[in-house]
Amino acid sequence: LAKTTQPISMDSYEGQEVNITCSHNNIATNDYITWYQQFPSQGPRFIIQGYKTKVTNEVASLFIPADRKSSTLSLPRVSLSDTAVYYCLVGDRVSGSARQLTFGSGTQLTVLP
Amino acid sequence: DTAVSQTPKYLVTQMGNDKSIKCEQNLGHDTMYWYKQDSKKFLKIMFSYNNKELIINETVPNRFSPKSPDKAHLNLHINSLELGDSAVYFCASSPNILTGNTGELFFGEGSRLTVL
């Protein structure tokens, strides 16, 4: 099981770039890295997924080093509405394993004005 | 259109009662899930169904019984409610966990259960 470790909380200011790092030292060859965002009173929402190097979409970028033992979610120019909990999830994309579908405690990002 | 919808959104009940939470998805997905989120924000999977078949059944008390009448619906029935059952329960779906899951789970908005 590729257990993940993230900072419990982070603060940032509007307009700054925010980088949240997730450690997953025991990541397996078939594992992908997926990030979710959760606002209060809502379910988590998919942000981005990657396997190696860099992935970018309209919301964020995901940087994965060659050894894949960590990953960094990068949010460009955050706004107050980006205040949320961010979860890193590591697992095989095809899975019957509950362990690969269990989220950690996430990182509470607070964006300040 | 809400992709994954669950009812009720809030549920307050007494210990010992039986309650149900319903979930429906209109995404055409084959796989549905129930998650429990505790006060520390951990999201723990409880059950998963793929095309109405139970494929993941975590260490959950027998008081919790899921039912999937068809692949678009997954309900959760809880008997003899206890204080520790208070949490937010999330339903989710994905294309097909066993063959082609993209890794993206689509979650409902959650059902907050409070047991008094």
On whether any CB of chain B is under 8 Å from the CB of A105, the answer is: yes
Give the chain B residue nearest A99 (alpha carbons): B45
Number of domains in chain B: 1
Residue range A9-93, CATH number: 2.60.40.10
pLDDT digits (tens, 9 = 90+) for B62-78: 999 999 999 999 999 99
Query: How many other CB atoms are found less than 10 A from the CB of residue A74?
Result: 16
pLDDT at B24: 97
Among A10, A44, A75, A62, which residue's Cα sits nearest to residue B42?
A44
In this structure, what CATH number is given to the domain that contains residue B17?
2.60.40.10
Domain residue ranges of chain A, discontinuous segments joined by +: 9-93
Length of chain A: 113
pLDDT at residue A16 in the model:
97
d(CA B27, CA B4): 8
Contacts with B110 from chain A: Cβ below 8 Å: 41-43
Q: Give me the residues of B, 22-61, that contact A with CB < 8 A.
A: 33, 40-45, 48, 55-56, 58
Residue-range definition of the domain harbouring residue B12: 4-115
Taking only the tens place, the pLDDT of each residue in B33-56 is 999 998 878 888 899 999 988 888
**Placement of tokens 């999330």 in the chain:** B90
Phi/psi at B10 (5° precision): -130, 145
CB neighbours (10 Å) of residue B34? 27
Identify the residue among A101, A107, A109 best suited for mutation to test binding to B, counting B beta carbons within 10 A and taking the highest: A101
- Residues of chain A found within 8 Å of residue B102, distances taken between Cβ atoms: 49, 93
